[in-house]
Structure 1
Amino acid sequence: MSWIYLMIAGVIEVAFTTAIRYTDGFTKLGPTLLVLALAGVSFFCVAKSTATIPLGTAYAVWGGLGAVGTVVTGILYFDEPVTVARLAFLALLIASLAGLKLVTD
């Protein structure tokens, strides 16, 4: 169940980091409240995941999932650049996350 919480936390992290784009420097109330609510849920889920996943692993996976998801979101929805180097480093990050999962009890 802890890994499920961690996956949910990662997906919600992508949502709240994407929502930051619409806060206009945290001057727009609605988007700012959305960011805060989503961040709170994401933090709750990552905290729940640490019941059986080591803290360092949980944090690394949570941050990595958020980073990969946010980069992919930027590419798909915000016309951010797609380069060979960028994709290679994303692949390396994904491989690292998978490796952490494999070596964690």
Structure 2
Amino acid sequence: MPWVYLVIAGLFEVVWAFAMKQSDGFTRPGPTIVTITAMIASFALLSLSMKSLPLGTAYTIWTGIGAVGAFLVGIAMLGEAASAMRIVAALLIVAGLVLMKIATPA
């Protein structure tokens, strides 16, 4: 279950990052509420996953899901650049996440 919590926490991190961008510096109430709610959910699920996963693994994977997810949302929804170098960088992050998962005991 901790891995499920961790993946969902990472997805909530993507949600709050996107909502924060949409909040326009917390000047728009709807996206601001989504940001804060998703942050709380993300931190709560990360905390649950850390009950049994090592700190380094949980935090690395959480931030990695958030980073790559925000990168993909930025490209898909905000029209951000998808240059070859940025894509390679995201793939390297994913490779690091896979290695971290493999290196961590269940």
Distance 1:91 1:72 in 2: 11
Paired residue type of 1:26: F
Does residue 16 of the first structure (1) align with residue 3 of the second (2)?
Answer: no
Q: Distance in 2 between matches of 1:70 and 1:32?
A: 17
Secondary structure of 2:27's counterpart equals: coil
Deviations 1:63-105 (A, max 9, x none): 0000000000111111100111001111100000000000001
CA deviations on 1:28-71 (whole Å, 9 max, x unpaired) are 22221211111000000000001111011101100000000000
Q: Which residue of 2 aligns with 1:100?
A: 100
What RMSD over aligned residues (CA atoms) do the two structures have, in Å? 0.8
* Aligned residue runs from structure 1 range 57-72, under 5 A: 57-72=57-72
Q: TM-score, normalised by structure 2?
A: 0.95
In structure 1, runs of 5+ residues without a counterpart are none
Which 5+ residue runs of structure 2 have no aligned equivalent?
none
Aligned residues: 105
1:37 aligned residue:
37
Q: Distance in 2 between matches of 1:102 and 1:22?
A: 35
